[in-house]
């Protein structure tokens, strides 16, 4: 994850989490929601960036397909890590 993406996560947490709300289910639910939002934003940014590179002639369709496959595999590994974190959070608060 880039530092920009990590800043997005921090911003989401600060903007939308009431500091007085510390119930375990709230923390786990908020974490899941924020992770989903982050991945939607990252995927949208990846699609826009790839589309711009293709339209500007900087990336071929073949290279775009390969890049997308790499991006998907990378995201799958990140998602596995986040699932482990969510399970850990749930075990702490559950």
14: in domain: no
3: in domain: no
85: in domain: yes
DSSP state of 58: S
Which residue did the predictor score with more confidence, 50 or 31? 50
What is the pTM assigned to this prediction? 0.52
pLDDT tens readout for residues 59-72: 999 999 898 888 88
Which residue did the predictor score with more confidence, 90 or 10? 90
25: in domain: no
Rounded Cα distance, 87 and 57, in Å: 44
19: in domain: no
Rounded Cα distance, 74 and 78, in Å: 6
The range of the structural domain enclosing residue 70 comes to 31-94
37: in domain: yes
**Nearest CA among 43, 51, 49, 48 for reference residue 75:** 43
pLDDT tens readout for residues 2-36: 555 555 555 555 545 455 555 666 777 777 788 77
If one counts the domains in the chain, the total is 1
88: in domain: yes
The alpha carbon dihedral of 41, 43, 46, 52 has a sign of negative
């Amino acid at each position: 994850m880039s530092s920009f993406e990590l800043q997005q996560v921090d911003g989401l947490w600060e903007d939308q989490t009431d500091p007085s709300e510390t119930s375990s289910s709230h923390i786990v639910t908020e974490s899941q929601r924020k992770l989903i939002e982050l991945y939607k934003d990252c995927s949208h940014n990846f699609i826009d960036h790839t589309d711009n590179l293709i339209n500007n002639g900087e990336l071929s369709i073949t290279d775009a397909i390969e890049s997308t496959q790499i991006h998907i595999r990378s995201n799958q590994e990140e998602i596995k890590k986040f699932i482990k974190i969510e399970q850990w959070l749930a075990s702490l608060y559950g």
